Amino acid sequence: MLKRLLPVFLMVLAVAMFATLPAVTIADDKANGDTHDGKIVRIDKDELTMTDLAGKEHQHKLNKDVKLRLDNKDVTLADITDFKAGMKVRVTTKKGDAKTVVKIEALSKGDFK
């Protein structure tokens, strides 16, 4: 009996862990700070200037640890020249420091989901 229950228990445990993984990832992103969307005005390896959805301009500091995604693919800081003015952007800032960015996601076309 125990030989049959152990594999079933382990399978249920594995399914439960994989089912909660997306919720843990979302919670981790929200713990980083605020996220807001807009468009890129200018960007280089040190600073991002963007407009929010209301058209207000914001400036953010970038550091070497910033996570970058372009068109749903991870890229490095060396690829920063691929980010162009006018692209849609989603920025996550450091908790307690709205000027320092921890993650930038940009799309050359389409909308964020």
Query: Do 28 and 42 belong together in one domain?
Result: no
Query: Do 61 and 21 belong together in one domain?
Result: no
Which residue from 30, 93, 42, 85 is spatially nearest to 104, judged by alpha carbons?
93
Specify the CATH number for the domain of residue 102. Answer: 2.40.50.140
Considering the domain boundaries, does residue 112 fall inside one? no
When the pLDDT of each residue in the chain is averaged and rounded to a whole number, the result is: 84
Q: What is the pTM of this model?
A: 0.68
Query: Do 46 and 86 belong together in one domain?
Result: yes
- Residues of 11-29 as b/e, b for ≥16 C-beta within 10 angstroms? eeeeeeeeeeeeeeeeeee
Q: Which domain holds residue 89?
A: 34-107
At 73, the amino acid letter reads K
Rg (CA), the chain: 19
pLDDT in the model for residue 27? 47
Query: Do 76 and 102 belong together in one domain?
Result: yes
How many Cα atoms are found within 13 Å in the side-chain-facing hemisphere of 40?
A: 23
Query: Do 26 and 47 belong together in one domain?
Result: no
Query: Do 72 and 88 belong together in one domain?
Result: yes
pLDDT tens digit sequence for 14-51: 777 777 666 555 445 445 578 999 999 999 989 999 99
Q: Give the H/E segment covering residue 9.
A: helix 2-32
Contacts 24+ apart (CB under 8 A), 45-52: 45/77, 45/80, 48/89, 48/91, 48/101, 48/104, 50/89, 50/91
Residue with tokens 């908790």: 95
